[in-house]
Amino acid sequence: MQITLPPPVVAAVAGTDTGFPVRRVFCVGRNYAEHAREMGRDPDREPPFFFSKWAETVVPDGTTIPYPQATKNFHYEAELVVAIGKAGRNISVDAALDHVFGYATGLDMTRRDLQLEARSQGRPWDTGKNVEQSSPLGLIHPASQIGHLNKGAIRLTVNGAVKQSADLADLIWPVADIVSFLSGLYQIEPGDLIYTGTPAGVGPVVSGDEMVVEIDALTPLKIKVGDPVA
């Protein structure tokens, strides 16, 4: 029997046709103070923590993602995404940005009911977070072209209505700190993506909704929610 594997995930990069091969996806939990509070946590006492998702959850701008199975509470989370271009372990904060290839808009779509059920029982979040097509990713802009992002507006709209609005300066752990901390847990590698956390205002979407994520200096990400998984 011959087994056919799906093609590797390659994200689009501004100004090139070669793309960015996606290796791993790391996500930072509760990295904006107001979002931490709306999720019932104290943002002043918590070091950064991470969960991971399959590379195949990454889908490009313009995708219509199906409403997933086993949930009745599918949430958007707008995020700044960091694309890693250089390997490293135990990287200092001062050197961390040297390992960043570029930045993109992103969404961490979440089966919130499953996540909260798992959290209440002290279980991993995998079923709530690691879901097919749940990591939409916009065009990656190389840091060599736009610089490094430590401030600037981040906003999400659903059907034109603003649902999330904040500034990257509000990140509890900014990009350099995140990269440094993560490299103390794993050797980061070219192709890794880091979703840096979402502002307050998360909420549900239904089939037919259109989400738009905008971050200053980056190309907006537009994603539609399709019919439920059969």
Residue 189 lies in a domain: yes
In a domain, 77, yes or no: yes
4 in a domain, yes or no? Answer: no
Query: Please, what sign has the CA dihedral across residues 37, 77, 6, 17?
Result: negative
Q: Does residue 94 fall inside a structural domain?
A: yes
Q: Give the pLDDT confidence of 14-70 residue by residue, as tens digits.
A: 999 999 999 999 999 889 888 777 777 766 757 889 999 999 999 999 999 999 999
How many structural domains does the chain have?
1
Is the residue at 33 inside a domain? yes
Name residue, tokens 């399959």.
54
- Name the more confident of 151 and 32: 151
Range of the domain at 65: 10-228
The Cβ-side half-sphere exposure at 80, using a 13 Å CA radius, reads 31
Is residue 123 one of the residues assigned to a domain?
A: yes
Integer Cα distance of 156 and 165 in angstroms: 7
CATH number, domain with residue 28: 3.90.850.10
